[in-house]
């Protein structure tokens, strides 16, 4: 069958692109596109070559591992080819793998070794009479670069083996990588020194290992885990891969402690799921897991390797955390407090296991710094449950007509001037409640579950109520009638009645909720509770000055000023008066007993570290309610230090001073003994 011109052209295009990206990745340690985008190019070429086998040539990247080798290092010919791994992306791919194993070695139970797949750089290490004599990169799989001098600087890798019994000449293989912490430190130092930073730990590891000057490599935080053997005398090989790793470990070679043996598809998948869950908490980056046939004799029975990969192993890749897509536009959202947030509208893209259409751009300055423009191809990242973000754009493919992003000087909704305070990166609309966006968001906040909890009052309904002038302020919500609501689009009679009922029920609230609902800047739920607890009477809070507010633990000068400013505004006082006139009420808090009579009166506490059941504010509020005092530093006057996880220096100082340390369970016990009831909202 003749090959259609279109297929020929596309194959040539794909090969050129793949060659370019291979060079970026392997030669310069600076990939231009995410791994998943590269994999997609490769998959497309594989599909074409499968459909039109005449397309396949010996030099096709689908048959070749890795990238070109640098002339900066001398060449090392591998005693055995260093292969790559076949990739699996789904349960079906793993089932296929098992089926293939069953066909060839199904005459006994098959055990696999499951390993994390580190995202680093594969290296070969040769030991001669127990001494590390040669280290090489994978290179093109046949020939690698001699990086012995650099490998000798990595403290994890033994230059002389421990114990006894090693073969006189053997080769092991493993991954050199950089921990996330090490990568962060390295980039921070580079930034301070005005040097180039690395995009990720993998590039940093590769860049560090391929330094001409090994004194530079010595300064880099590199680690190593061995995952198998290369050329190894067969008479010295243990029968199983797992045993071999244990043996190597006994000679001082680092082995990943996560490695496990599994005997079923379910075993593989649960290893995969577990590691994927723990992926964000691991000290290093992994991009999947690898399953390997444990019994080495079985590997022979599976047949010779394919062009790139052995048949006895498969890499089960995690969903890519980075993907390429097009940035359609940069919208500016105006929040309740006027903060302007740029939001990226994206062509839908599958990343981190979900389809993403919006991503955060953090702030306007960052967009300018990274020169991200509407219309650009961009790298989107979604790691774990973190909100998707735009990492960078690919300016090479930018349309000629594109213009740099401009920091708005005026609010896109109301046209008011934008404030840009020097100490904040945040831009803020100065329009206050006159800005329709802020106004609408403040009503949404008022109705939200943790505030007045008005069930059924959503964004669309609020839009209509405002557009039809049925409400001006939140106080007007309480003048609505089912009759009046019947004019609204798509709001049935029943829903209208339900909303009126919900509004009516919300009239009976609590003082902490009411304070939170008012939407005073920096007054969240916890501060609302703290203020209610302290003042008891709403009128007293309204009349408070900054000095009396700042005297309350955990109320700083900024929030104190916001509170005073809020209650000074005639507009706010008017809305509050109307809310109370329209029937909003709360049960008065019982008068506070004299502080001296309270169980923790006179006791001084410090809270440090992370508690499981309380935020720091909640723990402080509980102590204060019981008459105790909370301070931020440990001194001789401190009676108790409550310690959570990762407590830091305060705990050791307390220990030095002989102060009572309370673990969270001791603290809860003390609170209970003192008659504390957890405060609900």
Is 255 among the residues that bind ligand 9MJ (CB under 6 A)? no
The minimum distance between CB 241 and ligand 9MJ, in angstroms, equals 10
- Distances in Å between the Cα of 470 and the Cα atoms of 423, 465, 473, 496, 504 are 40, 5, 10, 14, 17
- Looking from the CA of 18 toward its CB, the CA atoms found within 13 Å total 24
Instruction: Pick left, alpha or beta for residue 465 (phi over 0 → left; psi -120 to 50 → alpha; otherwise beta).
Output: alpha
For the CA atoms of 540, 545, 550, 554, what is the dihedral angle to 10 degrees? 40
**What is the pattern of x (binds ligand 9MJ, CB under 6 A) and - over residues 413-452?**
----------------------------------------
Cβ 217 to ligand 9MJ, closest distance in Å?
20
Among 85, 346, 461, 515, binds ligand 9MJ (CB under 6 A): 85
Determine if 538 is a binding residue for ligand 9MJ (CB under 6 A). Answer: no
Residue 666 buriedness (CB in 10 A; 0-12 / 13-18 / 19+): middle
Per CB under 6 A, does 127 bind ligand 9MJ?
no
Nearer to ligand 9MJ, 269 or 542 (CB): 269
Among the options 32, 117, 317, 650, which is catalytic? 117
| Strands 377-381 and 322-334, sheet pairing | antiparallel
Residue placing its CB nearer to ligand 9MJ in the complex, 313 or 488:
313
Smallest gap from residue 526 Cβ to ligand 9MJ (A): 44
78 binds ligand 9MJ (CB under 6 A): no
Q: How many CB atoms lie within 10 A of CB 495?
A: 15
- Residue 313 binds ligand 9MJ, judged by CB under 6 A: yes
Q: How far apart are CA 532 and CA 538, in angstroms?
A: 7
* CB under 8 A, 24+ apart: contacts of 265-268: 265/91, 265/94, 265/95, 265/98, 267/112, 267/114, 268/94, 268/112, 268/114, 268/316
Task: State the Cα–Cα distance between residues 184 and 162, nearest whole angstrom.
Answer: 32
Pairing of strands 389-393, 377-381: antiparallel
Q: Where are the beta strands (DSSP E) in 299-409?
A: 313-317, 322-334, 339-351, 354-360, 377-381, 389-393
293 lines the binding site for ligand 9MJ (CB under 6 A): no
Q: Which is nearer to ligand 9MJ, 227 or 272 (CB)?
A: 227
Does residue 175 interact with ligand 9MJ by CB under 6 A? yes
Closest separation in Å from C-beta 161 to ligand 9MJ = 21
Q: Applying CB under 6 A, does 118 fall inside the site for ligand 9MJ?
A: yes
494 catalytically annotated: no
Among 25, 170, 227, 605, binds ligand 9MJ (CB under 6 A): 227
Which residue stretch of 115-123, 235-243, 425-433, 572-580 sits at the interface with ligand 9MJ (rule: CB under 6 A)? 115-123
Q: Supply the minimum distance, in Å, between the C-beta of residue 373 and ligand 9MJ.
A: 36
Nearer CB in complex with ligand 9MJ: 280/648 = 280
Q: What six digits make up the tokens of 578? A: 């109307």
We find the least distance from the C-beta atom of residue 244 to ligand 9MJ, in angstroms, to be 12
H/E stretch holding 47: helix 35-51
Q: Which two tokens stand for residue 482?
A: 């089912």
The H-or-E segment that residue 12 falls in is helix 5-22
d(CA 406, CA 365): 9
Q: How many residues bind ligand 9MJ (CB under 6 A)?
A: 10
Nearest to 681 by CA among 562, 567, 533, 472: 533
From 61, 228, 512, 528, residue interacting with ligand 9MJ (rule: CB under 6 A) = 228
CB of 477 to ligand 9MJ, least distance (A): 59
- In the list 36, 290, 462, 517, the residue contacting ligand 9MJ (rule: CB under 6 A) is 290
What residue ranges bind ligand 9MJ (CB under 6 A)?
83, 85, 115, 117-118, 175, 227-228, 290, 313
User: Which sequence positions are flagged as catalytic?
Assistant: 117
């Amino acid at each position: 069958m003749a090959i259609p011109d279109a297929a020929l052209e596309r194959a040539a295009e794909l090969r050129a692109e793949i060659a370019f990206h291979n060079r970026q990745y392997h030669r310069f340690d600076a990939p231009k596109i995410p791994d998943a985008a590269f994999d997609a190019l490769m998959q497309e070429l594989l599909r074409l070559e499968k459909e039109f086998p005449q397309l396949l040539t010996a030099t096709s990247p689908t048959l070749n591992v890795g990238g070109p080798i640098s002339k900066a290092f001398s060449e090392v010919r591998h005693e055995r080819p260093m292969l790559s791994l076949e990739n699996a992306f789904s349960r079906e791919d793993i089932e296929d793998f098992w089926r293939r194993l069953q066909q060839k070695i199904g005459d006994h139970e098959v055990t696999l070794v499951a390993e994390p797949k580190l995202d680093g750089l594969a290296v070969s290490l040769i030991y001669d009479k127990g001494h590390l004599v040669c280290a090489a990169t994978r290179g093109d799989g046949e020939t690698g670069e001699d990086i012995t001098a650099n490998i000798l600087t990595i403290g994890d890798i033994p230059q002389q083996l421990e114990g006894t019994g090693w073969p006189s000449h053997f080769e092991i293989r493993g991954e050199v990588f950089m921990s996330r912490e090490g990568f962060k430190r390295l980039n921070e130092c580079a930034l301070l020194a005005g040097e180039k930073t690395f995009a990720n730990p993998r590039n940093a590891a590769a860049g560090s290992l391929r330094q001409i000057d090994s004194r530079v490599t010595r300064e880099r935080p590199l680690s190593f885990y061995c995952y198998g053997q290369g050329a190894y005398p067969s008479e010295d090989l243990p029968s199983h891969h797992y045993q071999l790793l244990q043996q190597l470990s006994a000679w001082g070679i680092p082995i990943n402690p996560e490695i496990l043996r599994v005997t079923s598809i379910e075993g593989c998948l649960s290893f995969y799921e577990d590691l994927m869950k723990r992926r964000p908490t691991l000290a290093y980056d992994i991009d999947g897991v690898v399953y390997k046939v444990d019994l080495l004799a079985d590997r022979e029975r599976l047949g010779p390797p394919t062009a790139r990969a052995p048949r006895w192993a498969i890499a089960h890749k995690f969903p890519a955390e980075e993907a390429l897509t097009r940035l359609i536009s940069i919208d500016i959202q105006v929040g309740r407090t006027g903060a302007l947030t740029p939001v990226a509208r994206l062509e839908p893209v599958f990343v981190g296991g979900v389809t993403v259409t919006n991503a955060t751009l953090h702030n306007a300055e960052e967009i300018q710094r990274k020169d991200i423009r509407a219309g650009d191809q961009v790298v989107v990242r979604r790691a774990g449950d973190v909100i998707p973000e735009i990492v960078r754009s690919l300016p090479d493919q930018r349309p000629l007509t594109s213009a740099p992003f401009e920091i708005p000087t005026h609010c896109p909704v109301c046209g008011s001037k934008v404030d840009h305070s020097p100490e904040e990166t945040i831009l803020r609309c100065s329009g206050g409640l006159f800005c329709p966006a802020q106004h609408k968001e403040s009503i949404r906040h008022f109705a939200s579950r943790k505030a007045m909890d008005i069930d059924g009052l959503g964004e669309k309904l609020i839009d209509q109520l405002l557009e039809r002038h049925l409400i001006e302020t939140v106080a007007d919500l309480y003048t609505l009638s089912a009759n009046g609501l019947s004019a609204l689009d798509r709001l049935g009679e029943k829903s209208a009645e339900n909303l009126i009922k919900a509004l009516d029920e919300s009239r009976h609230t609590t003082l902490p909720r009411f304070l939170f609902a008012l939407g005073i800047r920096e007054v969240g739920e916890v501060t609302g509770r703290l203020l209610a607890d302290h003042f008891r009477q709403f009128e007293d809070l309204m009349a408070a000055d900054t000095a009396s507010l700042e005297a309350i633990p955990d109320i700083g000068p900024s929030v104190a000023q916001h509170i005073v400013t809020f209650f000074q505004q005639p507009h706010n006082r008017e809305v509050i008066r109307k809310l109370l006139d329209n029937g909003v009420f709360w049960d008065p808090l019982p008068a506070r007993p004299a502080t001296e009579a309270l169980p923790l009166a006179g006791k001084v506490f410090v809270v440090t570290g992370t508690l499981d059941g309380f935020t720091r504010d909640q723990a402080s509020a509980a102590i204060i309610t019981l008459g105790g005092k909370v301070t931020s530093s440990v001194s001789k006057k401190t009676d108790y230090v409550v310690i959570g996880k990762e407590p830091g220096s305060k705990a050791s100082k307390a220990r030095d001073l002989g102060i009572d340390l309370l673990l969270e369970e001791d603290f809860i016990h003390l609170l209970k003994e003192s008659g504390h009831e957890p405060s609900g909202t």
